[in-house]
A and B are shown apart, each in its own frame.
Chain A
Amino acid sequence: MVSDRRYLNNFFYVLPAILMFAIFTIYPFIKTFQLSVYEWDGISPTMKFVGLKNYLEIFSDRLFWNSMLNAGIITLLALTFQNMLALLLAVIIDRGVKFDKFFRTVYFIPPILSGVVVGLVWKWIYDGNYGILNTILTHIGLEKYTTSWLSNPRTALVSVAVVHMWKGFGWGFVILLAGLQTIPRELYEAAAIDGADSFKQFWYVTAPLMLPIFFVVSVLTILGTMQIFDLIYSMTRGGPAGATEVPISYIYRYMANNELGYATAMAVIFGLVLFTLSILQIKISRKLRKV
């Protein structure tokens, strides 16, 4: 039993952390909800209460839902290709290759780079006037496939998604590799004695034991990708003609135009969507684990 005095002492130790959390997390969270029911330009000393008007408008805002769809497409691409690449590389490194430490370092470089810097570098690569991608395509005889990658509405979203996946696969790689290394080697030896080839070892040993890790990586991928902004802002600014607009860039557009009420209402709805997705994933993960 902890005495009251001791309890109070302990409380004082965590007080700074609580204060920080309250000021920088709880207060902005409450303030966002509060602002979402007002009309406010961010400058005037007075705000106009509008109730649920902002929320009702969002439901018929085609551009907002279109931006959700764009983020959803990038997320789907990331969930499949980015995570598959991360898993493949993690399995290869886990099986033991030469210079594994070097590769681990190299794969983790893109995630730690600044999103804006990565965006600007890739913008140059994709550039229709002097981009290296078009130069390479021309040199290998594929000139007919050259295009202005970021200005063509048919290629812009996928081009941004490729950069996002390139930048993000390192995270999944590190987490998946850590998970793979917790699997006892004896299980693989036993499976090999039973005649399981590499694929069967992966399917019957690695995959079931890695299921919780797969879900962690998936949740992180969904949350990280749906909130994509820095790459979009530095590469396309949501263009061409809204083809790469994502929720955060759309919210930013309203913020920049001093419509804080509507912008925060969108942020609340977007937050709820992400929250729901995460809860759903966790529930599915639990059910699958039981199976």
Chain B
Amino acid sequence: MKAKYLYMLFLLSLVLLTSCGRKKGNLQEIVIWHWMTDREEVFNQLAKEYYELKGINIRFETYAPSDVYREKVRAAAQGGLLPDVYSPLGDQRELASFINAGYIEDLTEVMNTGWKDLFFESVLQQNTYNEGNEWKVKPGIYGVPIDVVSIQIFYNKTLFKKAGINPDNPPTTFEEFIAVCKKLRSAGIQPFVSGFGEEWLIDVFSKSFEYQILGEEGIIKTIKGEIKYTDPRWITIFELFEKMRNEKIFAEGIITMINKDAERVFATEKAAMALNGSWGINVYSGMNPQLNYDVFLPPKLTNAKYPVKIWVSSSFLNVNPKSKMKQQAIDFLKWLTENKQQITLAEKTKNIPSNKNVIDAIKYDVLKKFAANLDKSFPTLPVMENWKVVGTKCRGIQSIIIGEKTPRQLADELQAEKQKLLAELK
């Protein structure tokens, strides 16, 4: 009998425990989920300022690394537990799924009140869907950019000097780039490093050549299947990697290196150049404050038809349409993108502000160079290549780098993968 009562007590305590919730009382609170660990401190500082100003508590919750964050957001979406503000942290296809499922608020109306004029157009485009997009998303603006990041090639001025290269005159063309790499190699210095163990970074480097050779139109036609991957232009792109391998430009172990490791290699002066994002400024200053570096754009191909383009992205935040604090959340995001807050963010995080009016407030010369090239951003396309094709391309480039595949073999493999997907679509 006693045991029975104990059992009942256990069940009752379970019920009580599960009904324990967060009691908010009269406190107005906006919950924001993000993955940006480097911005945690400044976010909390700004939240404090906002509370003093408006009496609304802003609770930033950090979930890192980014893949853990992504999984959390997806699980929360399924369970109807999304916070007031968050980001799906995915590509346009994934963002479209969130919008179509009703998890992201359309901000077009509020953006059109003048808010959107604060931002770089190319950046805002990344969370904008135009008429006729392949995901059938209602045209509009769906996200608020908090800051901007971009990828270029960092180079170590000290190592350049050591190899007899003028550090104030970095390479601009592909031929110059190869020549510089040769000089570095003969001086016993590893020329180039990047986190090519992460496929997206290979894709970024490859795209800087793809846009020069094929242009936006050519890339769209390839995605639609109108230009084959076996086209000579694609083979030329893959041959560039073969050429770079033959000239021994890549650092030891580059193809399994994650970007954190590549950053360490560059910061410890074990490689002279690194393809990396503007966040690298913050990373390198932490790892080696004495590092003497600058940046240059990916090399221009001599016979290219189109200009050099670079990867530009932004940390977007999106509003949950089901949030009871929706309007307050939008007001907070507006406040966060105002000049004063944007300057604070840029100063503390060494990132490019998303508000173009405060771009002159950037204190770091290297960051200024990143900011000056934002107009060269890869365009946001109305279609997107299937991730399996992109994966095949990146793994194929890895194979070229280690001499396991030829450009022709990769082109054939890619085309076969593409044809399979096109047949499935039909």
Contacts and interface: CB of A to CB of B under 8 A. Distances in A.
A240 interface: yes
Contact of A152 (B67, B78, B388, B402): B402
Contacts of B67: 256
Given A43-B74, A240-B256, 18 more contacts: A16-B10, A41-B94, A42-B74, A42-B78, A43-B77, A44-B97, A45-B102, A123-B261, A127-B253, A128-B252, A130-B270, A151-B257, A239-B197, A240-B399, A241-B405, A253-B391, A257-B387, A258-B97
Nearest to A156: B256
B228 interface: no
Q: Which of B10, B67, B94, B257 is most buried by chain A, counting CB atoms within 10 A of its CB?
A: B257
Interface in B150-194: 190
A43 B93 CA distance: 11
Given A43-B74, A258-B94, A241 B395 contact: yes
A212 interface: no
B138 to A, nearest CB: 15
Interface string B180-213: 0000000000100000011000000000000000
Contacts of B85: none
Interface in B264-309: 265, 268, 270
Contacts, number: 87
- Give the interface SS of chain B, mostly helix, strand, loop or mixed: helix
A129 interface: yes
Interface of B: 3-4, 7, 10, 67, 70, 74, 77-78, 88, 90, 94, 97-98, 100-103, 190, 197-198, 251-258, 261, 265, 268, 270, 387-388, 391, 395-396, 398-399, 402, 404-405
Given A239-B197, A241-B404, A257-B387, A151 B7 contact: no
B188 to A, nearest CB: 13
Contacts of A129: 190, 251-253, 265, 270
Contact of A43 (B98, B251, B404): B98
Contact of A236 (B70, B197, B391): B197
A16 B6 CA distance: 14
Contacts of B101: 43-45
A140 to B, nearest CB: 20
Nearest to A12: B7
A164 interface: no
A16 B8 CA distance: 12
Nearest to A234: B258
B397 to A, nearest CB: 9
The 3 closest A-B pairs by CB, nearest first: A128-B252, A148-B253, A128-B253
Contacts of A152: 402
A157 to B, nearest CB: 12
A237 B256 contact: yes
Contacts of B395: 239, 241-242
Given A239-B197, A241-B404, A242-B395, A151 B253 contact: yes
Contacts of B100: 44
- Give the interface SS of chain A, mostly helix, strand, loop or mixed: loop
Interface string A224-257: 0000000000011101111000000000010011
A148 B156 CA distance: 23
A64 to B, nearest CB: 12
B103 A241 contact: no
B114 to A, nearest CB: 32
A189 to B, nearest CB: 51
Nearest to A245: B395
A27 interface: no
A72 interface: no
A241 B7 contact: no
A240 B250 CA distance: 14
Given A43-B77, A44-B97, A240 B252 contact: no
A122 to B, nearest CB: 13
Contact of B256 (A150, A253, A258): A150
A43 B256 contact: no
Contacts of A179: none
A99 interface: no
Interface in A183-200: none
A9 interface: yes
A129 B251 CA distance: 8
B149 to A, nearest CB: 21
10 contacts: A13-B7, A41-B94, A43-B74, A129-B251, A151-B402, A237-B258, A239-B395, A240-B398, A241-B255, A257-B388
Contacts of A127: 253, 261
Q: Which of A148, A151, A253, A256 is most buried by chain B, counting CB atoms within 10 A of its CB?
A: A151
